[in-house]
Amino acid sequence: PAKSGRPASLAMACWRQCRSRLAVQSRRLGAPRESRYFLAQLQDVTPSGIHLGLGARGFQQAAGDDGGRVTGPRHYPSLAQTLRNTRGRELLRIVDTAVPNLKHIKEFSVVLKALALDGQWRRALRLLREMQEMGVQPNLITYNQVLSAMSKDKQVEKALGMLEEMRQNAIEPDVLSYSNCIGACKPSEWERSLQIMESMPAAGLAPDGPCFEHAAAACEEAGEWQRSLALFMEIAQRELESTSVGHNYALSAARQGKQWRHGFEIMAEMAKRTFEPDFRLRQDLEAQSRGLDRAPPPEPSARSTPSPDNVWQRKQQLRELREQDKRRQEERKLEQDRLEREPAAKPYEEEGFMVYGGQDAFANKNAHTMPAMDIAACRRVCQERGYGAFTVWSNQAYFRSEGAAEIKEGMKRAGGTTMYVNLEPESQRKARLKARQEEERRQEQDKQRQERDARRKQREEERVLESPSPVQHSASQAARGEGGPPQRAAEASWEARPRGGPPASGGG
């Protein structure tokens, strides 16, 4: 063939034949269509034939010293893509099929990553043992992927045992290893997560943002919302990186503790970072700012099937619920646009208040809330405390501490609300309160004076009742034989007797 001068054409013919055979074989083995691409390199032309170097897609040629030897997969793109989009039993089937053909540690890393995403920690641990039996020594990346799979299934004891195994194999765990161990703690093991995080400085590591977020998530799910918020605030104090997941866990803790003001601050920070808060959490916090416990439940889903057991199907169901929430949000936005386009009702004055229908201002900034069954009582509270206005929505009154002028400038259309703006000036309110205080002080003084007069009169009556009358006094003296005129005369003569000595005796 070399003498014919047609090595290129023969090489192409051989290449087509080999490619067709390889494609048939790969199709029989169940390889995906996008992986049925192969590379050919003309290595040598001899009188006996043409030698081609064949390589499957995903393999790279080593440069320089290896002389064109095929070294292994660069990232195995087709297998990675297939595993990334597969979950559950199908993933385990593909892994069992692919494991006998795995040789390079990068190939094992691709499979371990897919198992970690699905939380298949038992299969990932078995694959790690198969790697060691085949002579492929795991590294820090493969260990962290197994720890990630254990974290998904909340197997903290297994994860801590894996840390000990890493130290025995002279592989020092990094921050990601400890983060996966913290994330493996169940809500009932939130104290364990804090202990693991506190043990990191002893290993020469400093906790990062995900460590604090995993610990805050465990505390929030266990009902320890104060600790969860404290851990989230420590992320900002240490200037660590935080994710939208951590912010949403902080929002959930704020909702659990009814700290809606703190929740609004977290949502403002999320808006600066272009994070999207969870729709239900935002609704519940807005409802708490209006005096409610939770927002009304969403409309029931049209699907009547129960929640599936497969994790991937549950995630798909959650996506559908998020789509429903997104559609409701769009509907509310359209309703708000419609209200803004429609002309507002004409305001009218009523008992010192200007009434605006279908409008609100400074929402979620409530200075005070109370039931709106009695509008007159709401007006009195607004005037006595000096609030600028109050809004009635769903039989609840929400008071605004801003002035009437600011409220009028910040009014927006809001369906189902009625705003009562206080028209009383501040000087008139102060004069009215001062006159009321003087009136109350005068009434208090009159009351005290009346009480003193009543006590004085009562003491005089008691004194009269205790002292005897003149008739009773004479009768008592007569009964004792005292007080008569003869007795008084005898007493007077006795007092007038001479005091010099004994009286002189008569003659005799």
| Closest residue by Cα to residue 364 from 286, 293, 294 | 286
Mark 317-346 as b/e (b = at least 16 C-beta within 10 Å).
beeeeeeebeeeeeeeeeeeeebeeeeeee
Cα within 13 Å of Cα(271), Cβ side: 7
pLDDT in tens, 243-252: 888 888 888 8
What is the pLDDT, as a whole number, of residue 58? 41
| Closest residue by Cα to residue 175 from 149, 142, 146, 199 | 199
Distance CA 369, CA 398 (A): 5
Whether the Cβ atoms of residue 54 and residue 39 lie closer than 8 Å to each other: yes
Distance CA 338, CA 112 (A): 52
What is the pLDDT, as a whole number, of residue 471? 56
Distance CA 197, CA 205 (A): 10
Distance CA 412, CA 391 (A): 12
Distance CA 231, CA 61 (A): 49
Helix (H, G, I), strand (E, B) or coil at 341: helix
pTM: 0.47
Distance CA 366, CA 397 (A): 10
Which residues touch 114 (CB under 8 Å, ≥6 apart)?
A: 80, 83, 84, 86, 91, 95
Distance CA 479, CA 476 (A): 5
What is the pLDDT, as a whole number, of residue 71? 40
Q: What is the DSSP string of 293-337?
A: SSPPPPPPPS--SPPPSSHHHHHHHHHHHHHHHHHHHHHHHHHHH
Q: What percent of the chain has pLDDT over 90?
A: 2
**What six digits make up the tokens of 441?**
């002080």
With helix as H, strand as E and coil as C, how does 69-99 read?
CEEEECCCHHHHHHHHCCCHHHHHHHHHHHH
What is the pLDDT, as a whole number, of residue 481? 54
What is the pLDDT, as a whole number, of residue 420? 92
Helix (H, G, I), strand (E, B) or coil at 267: helix
Distance CA 395, CA 291 (A): 11
User: Per 3-state DSSP, what percentage of the chain is helix, strand, and coil (rounded to 5)?
Assistant: 60, 10, 30
Distance of CA 105 to the CA centre of its chain: 40
Which residues of the chain fall below pLDDT 70?
Answer: 1-86, 298-315, 468-508
Distance CA 474, CA 457 (A): 28
What is the pLDDT, as a whole number, of residue 44? 52
Kindly give the pairing relationship between strand 389-393 and strand 412-422: antiparallel
Whether the Cβ atoms of residue 277 and residue 248 lie closer than 8 Å to each other: yes
Distance of CA 429 to the CA centre of its chain: 41
Distance CA 39, CA 55 (A): 5
Question: Quick one: DSSP state of residue 232?
Answer: H
Which residues touch 369 (CB under 8 Å, ≥6 apart)?
A: 290, 291, 396, 397, 398, 399
What is the pLDDT, as a whole number, of residue 498? 66
**What six digits make up the tokens of 100?**
């006998």
Distance CA 431, CA 8 (A): 106
